[in-house]
């Protein structure tokens, strides 16, 4: 097993590093960046402590940026499909994705009240690089999503700035990714443990070719009794440190693939994200914003042909089951990776959200026969 599949860049374990026997074959780094051309960048804001003073902190937030293609250009669009399991949240740009089946901008994920500045700054990033060279209409519709970090963060203080978003976009890179308390996931919680950013990937052989599916999650959802890992009712055993009476969170998931797919097929992939989420125990509560995006980097210029006919390659529907399974498995593992990588955090008003205890988790998984080492 490649070290980056099971360990973070700083050497701490991921889910596989704890011996959790996730099914399927991951890509080289077990990350969304295993899809060639996809790059991810972070801006992480951690400042102050003690009682909240709106506008001053404490600050526990950030931005995650995803470039679907690198080098990015305004004509470097990708086929895409979106799906909303529960709509108590926001992802901009999805009206056009549902209408036309593609988008041509970066993706950014942040906290709920910083969605506007993330949109503004992403447009700034695009126009700084390309000015009026944005195509016939000279406009951009960035895809920006959010979850709420208000339990730990001075979210009303609006601490994310244009510079933070630009830094995340400028810093986007391929290769192994940090997880847990980073980027937009910095102040997020998951099943009443510390949550945040997680990623995973799968390799899928279809029709003689090997394709990659990668997922990135901003996990901020669920209550403890729901938490299930590889079929084990973890949340019913690890009960210390609870702080919620009911679901009040959200999850954003972005899935990328290099497989050639039609927009309607990518919408089908986006719907399968719900099953990966469900494997970890979520029922997608009324207060949750569970919003999903899937895109393909195949078909290099998928909306070309305004002056004539266009042609797309795509995998037949009858051969998509392996892709569906890869989405489910990578989303499930990405959520667990977010939990495993996250570290205990004390935020606003000295609220503490504990990280899941690695020793207690591995001991419990062993009791259920769910250890792979």
State the catalytic residue, choosing from 114, 201, 250, 296.
250
Token pair, residue 153, equals: 């963060």
- Give pLDDT tens digits for 41-72: 999 999 999 999 999 999 999 999 999 999 88
Domain segments of the chain as ranges: 16-301+311-347
First-residue to last-residue Cα distance in the chain: 12
Cβ atoms 179, 337 nearer than 8 A:
yes
CA-closest candidate to residue 199, choices 352, 1, 39:
39
Token pair, residue 183, equals: 């980027």
290 is catalytic: yes
What is the rounded CA–CA span in Å between residue 189 and residue 191? Answer: 7
- Give pLDDT tens digits for 282-303: 999 999 999 999 999 999 764 5
The torsion angle over the Cα atoms of residues 278, 284, 86 and 120, rounded to 10 degrees, is -90
Q: Enumerate the β-bridge partners of residue 229.
A: 232
What's the whole-model pTM score? 0.96
250 is catalytic: yes
State the catalytic residue, choosing from 114, 290, 296, 330.
290
Kindly tell me if the per-residue pLDDT of 23 is higher than 60. yes
Cβ atoms 191, 223 nearer than 8 A:
yes
Residues near 52 by Cβ (< 8 Å), separated by ≥ 6? Answer: 58, 154, 348, 349
Cβ atoms 228, 280 nearer than 8 A:
yes
CATH topology of domain 16-301+311-347: 3.60.70
- Give pLDDT tens digits for 204-249: 999 999 999 999 999 999 999 999 999 999 999 999 999 999 999 9
- Give pLDDT tens digits for 298-350: 997 645 555 677 788 999 999 999 999 999 999 999 999 999 999 999 999 99
- CB burial string 335-372: b at 16+ within 10 A, e below: bbbbbbbbeebebbeeeebbbbeeeebbebbeeeebbe
What is the rounded CA–CA span in Å between residue 83 and residue 97? Answer: 10
For residue 74, name the pLDDT band (cuts at 50, 70, 90).
Answer: confident
Identify the DSSP state of 364: H
For residue 129, name the pLDDT band (cuts at 50, 70, 90).
Answer: confident
State the catalytic residue, choosing from 174, 263, 282, 288.
288
287 is catalytic: no
Q: Regarding beta strands 189-190 and 143-147, do their DSSP bridges make them parallel or antiparallel, or are they unpaired? A: unpaired
Residues near 196 by Cβ (< 8 Å), separated by ≥ 6? Answer: 179, 180, 181, 182, 183, 185, 186, 188, 190, 218, 219, 220, 338, 341, 342
What is the rounded CA–CA span in Å between residue 210 and residue 254? Answer: 21
Kindly tell me if the per-residue pLDDT of 159 is higher than 60. yes
């Amino acid at each position: 097993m490649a070290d980056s599949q099971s360990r973070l860049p700083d050497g701490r374990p991921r889910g596989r590093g704890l011996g959790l026997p996730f099914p399927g074959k991951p890509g080289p780094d077990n990350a969304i960046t295993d899809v060639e051309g996809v790059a991810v960048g972070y801006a992480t804001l951690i400042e102050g402590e003690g009682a909240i003073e709106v506008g001053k902190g404490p600050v526990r937030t950030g931005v995650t940026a995803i470039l679907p293609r690198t080098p990015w250009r305004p004509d470097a669009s990708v086929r895409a499909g979106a799906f909303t399991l529960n709509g108590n949240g926001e992802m901009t740009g999805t009206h056009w994705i549902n209408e036309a089946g593609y988008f041509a901008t970066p993706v950014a994920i942040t906290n709920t009240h910083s969605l506007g500045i993330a949109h503004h700054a992403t447009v700034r990033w695009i126009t700084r690089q390309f000015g009026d060279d944005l195509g016939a209409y000279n406009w951009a519709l960035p895809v920006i999503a959010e979850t709420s970090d208000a339990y730990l963060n001075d979210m009303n203080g609006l601490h994310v700035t244009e510079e933070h978003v630009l830094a995340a976009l400028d810093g986007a890179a391929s290769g192994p990714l940090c997880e847990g308390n980073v980027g937009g996931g910095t102040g997020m919680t998951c099943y009443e443990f510390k949550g945040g950013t997680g990623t995973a990937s799968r390799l899928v052989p279809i029709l003689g070719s090997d394709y990659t599916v990668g997922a990135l999650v901003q996990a901020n959802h669920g209550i403890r009794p729901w938490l299930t890992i590889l079929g084990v009712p973890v949340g019913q055993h690890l009960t210390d440190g609870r702080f919620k009476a009911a679901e009040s969170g959200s999850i954003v998931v972005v899935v990328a693939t290099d497989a050639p797919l039609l927009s309607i097929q990518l919408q089908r992939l986006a719907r399968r994200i719900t099953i990966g989420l469900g494997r970890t125990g979520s029922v997608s509560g009324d207060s949750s914003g569970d919003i999903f995006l899937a895109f393909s980097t195949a078909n290099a210029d998928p909306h070309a042909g305004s002056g004539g006919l266009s042609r797309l390659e795509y995998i037949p529907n009858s051969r998509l089951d392996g892709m569906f399974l890869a989405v489910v498995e990578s989303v499930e593992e990405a959520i667990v990776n977010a939990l495993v990588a996250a570290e205990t955090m004390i935020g606003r008003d000295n609220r503490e959200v504990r990280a899941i205890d690695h020793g207690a988790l591995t001991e419990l998984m062993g009791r259920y026969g769910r250890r792979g080492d």
